Amino acid sequence: MRTQVVIIGAGPAGLLLSHLLRLAGVASVVLESRSREHCEQRIRAGVLEQGTVDTLTQAGLGSRMQREGLVHHGIELLFERTRHRIDLTALTGGRAITVYGQHEVVRDMIAAAIDHQQPLYFDVSAVSLHDLTTDKPWVQFTHEGIAQRIDCEFIAGCDGFHGISRDSIPAAALQTFERIYPYAWLGILAHAAPTCDELVYAHHERGFALFSMRSPELTRLYLQCRPDEDLAQWPDQRVWAELHARFDNADGWLPAIGEIAQKGVTPMRSFVCEPMQYGRLFLAGDAAHIVPPTGAKGMNLAVADVRVLSKALAAHYRDGRDDLLAAYSSTCLARVWRAEHFSYFMTNMLHPSFDDTPFVNRLKLSELRYVARSDAAARMLAENYVGLPFDD
């Protein structure tokens, strides 16, 4: 086989890149090690920035999102038993967020790829990348028991933190930055109608908690826990009791109790590799960077990356320009580090530390009070939360 761009990974980054390239007249092939069913059913966070919503809509991928997504104009911070609303829309000139599951975004993009007959291979194995520093890279893989080779001109590594793309770059060519947090999230998906129209971030002396939703019938909730938490020690009754304790407030609001359909522990880490390109290989999304989920930036950063990459590849093929490709890493990393800092800020402020001094936890409460009472601090949070505008 021969194509212009081989995309490794059929997550949001890889699938969106293939659509953007198609719209620009650039041919691509997507390779994914998992099954289609796995990709479509893998539940991940679903808070979409305004820019992500606009990008999906402009690419012709937003019709179901527009019908079923839940548009939120604010979030709530709950601390010291009091709820404080941050008006995202008023503070950002009309921007908002949309709650729409990542797996739903993936389903929409896979369906569109099939409709447009985009080459998309699931269940591939033994993927290897070759001749990355030449103008004729190639990819070898096995599909349905048959070893195959694709000759191409560029490779996009969109295969996540544990994928093969980043590992295909010599260690000496990369610099990595990482922070492992001393806590994790115990998350549940419950068959219960959401009792609040917006996300509620709760700081409590017992630990952080987050109220979110996936649909008018499904509530998504999280509890701060240890990274090595044993789920067997968390029967449903204990989960609900702890959630209600951490969400306790003077208004009497609480999430509704329902059947728990899913339960799991999510570790917390920040990670960035520099540069995000090596020869003809370009990394995007989780292959290049990880953020803790507190700031809701993971998928949104992936979308930002492939916007930049698709425009750079389009300029290469349409205009013979390579300056945008040369600047890909520095362009993306400016936004990545801003998102890393915001995610760190949200995570640090909202999670009480049990390994630190009472002094540090008092500082966190002071910061929460400042954000809740200062228009300038609230605007900073709102601007970053809804996503900074793209600089095209």
The single residue of 203, 289, 297, 316 carrying the catalytic annotation is 297
Residue type, 316: H
Q: How many CB atoms lie within 10 A of CB 355?
A: 7
Read off the amino acid at residue 32.
E
How many CB atoms neighbour CB 348 within 10 A? 16
The type of residue at 111 is A
Short-list 312, 317, 331, CA closest to 391: 331
Rounded to whole angstroms, the Cα distance separating 1 from 139 reads: 10
Q: Which single residue is written with the structure tokens 């989780």?
A: 286
SS3 82: strand
Residue type, 350: L
Q: Is 293 annotated as catalytic?
A: yes
Rounded alpha-carbon distances, angstroms, from residue 51 to 38, 55, 73, 269, 294: 27, 6, 14, 24, 19
Examine the residue annotation and report whether 344 is marked as an active-site residue of this protein. Answer: no
User: One-letter amino acid identity for 369?
Assistant: R
List 100, 181, 278, 385, catalytic entry:
385
**Exactly one of 100, 181, 201, 328 is catalytic; which is it?**
201
Helix axes 50-58, 298-319, angle to 10 degrees: 40
Active-site residue identified among 293, 351, 352, 364: 293
Does residue 297 carry a catalytic annotation? yes
Write down the H helix ranges in the chain. 12-23, 36-41, 50-58, 63-68, 88-91, 102-115, 236-246, 298-319, 323-326, 328-350, 358-373, 375-386
Angle between helix 298-319 and 12-23 (nearest 10): 30
Candidates 12, 19, 72, 364; catalytic one = 72
Question: For residue 161, which amino acid is it?
Answer: F
Q: Identify whether 385 is a catalytic site residue.
A: yes
Q: Which pair of structure tokens corresponds to residue 164?
A: 């093969």
Instruction: Return the active site residues.
Output: 72, 201, 293, 297, 385
